Structure 1
Amino acid sequence: MADTRSTSRAAGGAVVEPLTVDRERAASRGERRMPAAPPRPGRRGRRGGRNGSHVLAHVVLATGGLVMAFPFLWQIIMSLSTNTEVQSVTPTFWPAQLQWENYAAVFQRLPFLDQLRNSVSITVIRTVAQILFCTLAGYAFARMRFRGRGLLLALVLSILMVPSQAYLLSQYQIVQGLGLLNSIGGLVLPGLFSAFGTFLMRTAFAAMPGELEEAARLDGANPWQIFWRVMFPLARPTISVLAITSVLWSWNELLWPLVVSSYSESMPLSAGLATLISDRTTDYPVVMAASLLAMAPVLVLFVVLQRRVIDGLASSGLK
């Protein structure tokens, strides 16, 4: 039998489409036809819905951004207010007169430039040292095979389980024995290496394909050349994350500088700000102004390197 879906030819050679034949057969049998589908909404309706959703998304994001930025804006207002306005029971959302002299008082009460230089030196030295040592250690644990590798890695990672305050006394005794109190060397020594950085870099190197390393070895590259010319450039996003965390941690560290530094000139900014707070009286506007000045270098650095920071955090999976 001929296929019912095949093309039929009428008298005179005219071609009858299969769909027409099916419709005629259905009409002769008395079958009901399916109702036509309702027309789709026009472009104008869809565009209006999209615009409405976009407006709602922008409103939600703007509200969330304002909530997150409010503490920073409130800090700026407090730094330009008087101490009476800050401590008043009824909050003052805008000072009666802007007190720009609070920023000048910071330089009078603190050796701000000396402490800024100390903070920059500590941050740069620690960041460079952690990038160097943690990448080397992470590459060794991820790519090299040697006896006791698992045990040594477990010992390094066990540092993450112990609070840093537990070995504060032993670190102080070591620094005191080396004669590094009230010096940059004593401030940076405990932060030259971190177990977190080692684990982070080990994860990054372990995820890289081994074919790259084998190809470089076949080309005659030694282990150092494989690390420096092949694996290190591929780990740049993770290295940027390590650098970001090292900068933030070194810039904001408070406990260790207070322990090993007893002079204002040898303190970083984080410890210098703590000396402005007294048990009797505290000039909160000056403290807020000093905090903003201490925050400014890191904030400028983030604005300049914003794209690299976001790309590094996104590629590493950290939040």
Structure 2
Amino acid sequence: MTTAIRPPRRRRSAAFGSLTGPALVRRYVMLVVVGLLLLGPLVLPLMAAFKAPGEPVFGQGATLLPQTWSLDAFVKLFEQTEIVRYIGNSLFVGVLTVISAVVLSTLGGYMLSRRGWRGRGVAVTMVMATMIFPFESIMLSLFSQVRDLGLYDTLWGIWLPMMLGPFHLLLMRAAFMGIPEEVEDAAFLDGAGEWQRFWHVFLPQVRGSLTIVALTAFIGAWQDYLWPLLVTQSSENTTMMLGIAQLQSSFGTDYRVVLAGAIAALVPIALVFFFTQKHFFRGIEEGGLKF
């Protein structure tokens, strides 16, 4: 019996993929240009929130950066508005959306990825078909259902249509289908039951895709404006995006307060992405978006 000899691996040289001289300069110049194009239109207007009272924000005499840095706009924002309540309401809806999206998409994606049961293809087709219809086409019917359930003007009524999206379901299905069948067969031969295979074998392999589901679900719930506007009426259930719209009517002449509210809305998203970016990009590398 002959033993197969593995060919020796060729190591990359230290200079592989490295750039020096003009090529390196061109790369950094391109990165700076792309960074300015992406962040410039967002960061520069927000800098006006740090301008002192009386300093022009737009128009003649206005500068890109504050001449005198001040937190007066943020003091007005938190003292004269209910911004803390708006943030709390959006966080409540966002956390509920993340929990429901992660749990339901994981269980549903796992079931849709399992072979050996009839109707799986029809179920997947029906899920994909729901992505064809825009939200505006079913908005009124959803509003009628939420009202009939007695959830009008409640945070639960905002959360209900967001509890699970077809994109998240298909994403988790693709993630589970990317796991080799030999892994499941080995666990089955070792005597692992369905729940044990799901919890100890499959779930650890899709943590990157779970991060994508959680992050996109939170961002979608946080920045949603149309649906909360439709199903809420009282200020007690106003979300962050509705609160920023009210700032534009209450402080229409003081753009600094409106921009301070925009910064307050941006900070939670930036923090969530900062602490989950490693798992987010790992999920993309695992092929979680290829379905």
> TM-score w.r.t. structure 1 length?
0.78
Please give the alpha-carbon distance, in whole angstroms, between the structure 2 residues aligned to 1:115 and 1:280: 17
Deviations 1:87-123 (A, max 9, x none): 4256532344444211112124431111111111111
Moved more, 105-114 or 254-263: 105-114
Residue 118 of structure 2 corresponds to which residue in structure 1? 147
What amino acid is the match of 2:133? V
Residue 127 of structure 1 corresponds to which residue in structure 2? 98
Moved more, 260-269 or 89-98: 89-98
Residue 134 of structure 2 corresponds to which residue in structure 1? 163
Residue 230 of structure 2 corresponds to which residue in structure 1? 259
> In the superposition, relative to structure 1, how do residues 83 and 304 fare at CA in structure 2: closer, same or farther (>3 Å)?
farther
> In the superposition, relative to structure 1, how do residues 210 and 314 fare at CA in structure 2: closer, same or farther (>3 Å)?
closer
CA shift, 1:233, in A, is 0.9
Residue 184 in 1 paired to residue 138 in 2? no
Residue 285 of structure 1 corresponds to which residue in structure 2? 256
Residue 294 in 1 paired to residue 265 in 2? yes
CA shift, 1:317, in A, is 6.0
What amino acid is the match of 1:55? V
> In the superposition, relative to structure 1, how do residues 89 and 318 fare at CA in structure 2: closer, same or farther (>3 Å)?
farther
> In the superposition, relative to structure 1, how do residues 177 and 238 fare at CA in structure 2: closer, same or farther (>3 Å)?
same
Q: Could you tell me which of 159, 168, 190 is aligned with 1:197?
A: 168
Please give the alpha-carbon distance, in whole angstroms, between the structure 1 residues aligned to 2:288 and 2:101: 20
Select the structure of larger CA radius of gyration: 1
Residue 76 of structure 1 corresponds to which residue in structure 2? 46
Residue 16 of structure 2 corresponds to which residue in structure 1? none
Residue 214 in 1 paired to residue 197 in 2? no
Please give the alpha-carbon distance, in whole angstroms, between the structure 2 residues aligned to 1:109 and 1:274: 15
- Preserved contact between residue 83 and residue 283 of structure 1 (Cα < 8 Å): no
What amino acid is the match of 1:104? V
**Secondary structure, aligned partner of 2:20:** helix
> In the superposition, relative to structure 1, how do residues 295 and 212 fare at CA in structure 2: closer, same or farther (>3 Å)?
same
Residue 304 of structure 1 corresponds to which residue in structure 2? 275
CA shift, 1:163, in A, is 0.2
Q: Could you tell me which of 182, 192, 197 is aligned with 1:226?
A: 197
- Preserved contact between residue 273 and residue 287 of structure 1 (Cα < 8 Å): yes
CA shift, 1:248, in A, is 1.2
What amino acid is the match of 2:284? L
CA shift, 1:190, in A, is 0.7
- Preserved contact between residue 83 and residue 285 of structure 1 (Cα < 8 Å): no
Residue 12 of structure 1 corresponds to which residue in structure 2? none
Q: Could you tell me which of 28, 31, 37 is aligned with 1:58?
A: 28
Please give the alpha-carbon distance, in whole angstroms, between the structure 2 residues aligned to 1:313 and 1:272: 34
CA shift, 1:288, in A, is 0.7
Deviations 1:182-239 (A, max 9, x none): 2221111111111001111111111211111112222222222211211111111111
Residue 9 of structure 1 corresponds to which residue in structure 2? none
Q: CA RMSD in A?
A: 2.3
> In the superposition, relative to structure 1, how do residues 84 and 248 fare at CA in structure 2: closer, same or farther (>3 Å)?
same
What amino acid is the match of 1:197? H
- Preserved contact between residue 153 and residue 232 of structure 2 (Cα < 8 Å): yes
Question: Alignment identity in percent?
Answer: 31
- Preserved contact between residue 211 and residue 276 of structure 2 (Cα < 8 Å): no
Unaligned 5+ segments in structure 1 are: 1-48
CA shift, 1:164, in A, is 0.7
Residue 24 of structure 1 corresponds to which residue in structure 2? none
Q: Could you tell me which of 166, 169, 172 is aligned with 2:143?
A: 172
Moved more, 230-239 or 94-103: 94-103
Deviations 1:55-85 (A, max 9, x none): 2212221222233221232133221346872
> In the superposition, relative to structure 1, how do residues 298 and 162 fare at CA in structure 2: closer, same or farther (>3 Å)?
same
Please give the alpha-carbon distance, in whole angstroms, between the structure 1 residues aligned to 2:284 and 2:117: 31
> In the superposition, relative to structure 1, how do residues 279 and 89 fare at CA in structure 2: closer, same or farther (>3 Å)?
farther
- Preserved contact between residue 110 and residue 264 of structure 1 (Cα < 8 Å): no
Residue 26 of structure 1 corresponds to which residue in structure 2? none
- Preserved contact between residue 142 and residue 202 of structure 1 (Cα < 8 Å): yes
Please give the alpha-carbon distance, in whole angstroms, between the structure 2 residues aligned to 1:223 and 1:50: 54
CA shift, 1:127, in A, is 0.8
Please give the alpha-carbon distance, in whole angstroms, between the structure 2 residues aligned to 1:132 and 1:94: 45
- Preserved contact between residue 182 and residue 262 of structure 1 (Cα < 8 Å): yes
Please give the alpha-carbon distance, in whole angstroms, between the structure 1 residues aligned to 2:253 and 2:134: 31
- Preserved contact between residue 241 and residue 316 of structure 1 (Cα < 8 Å): no
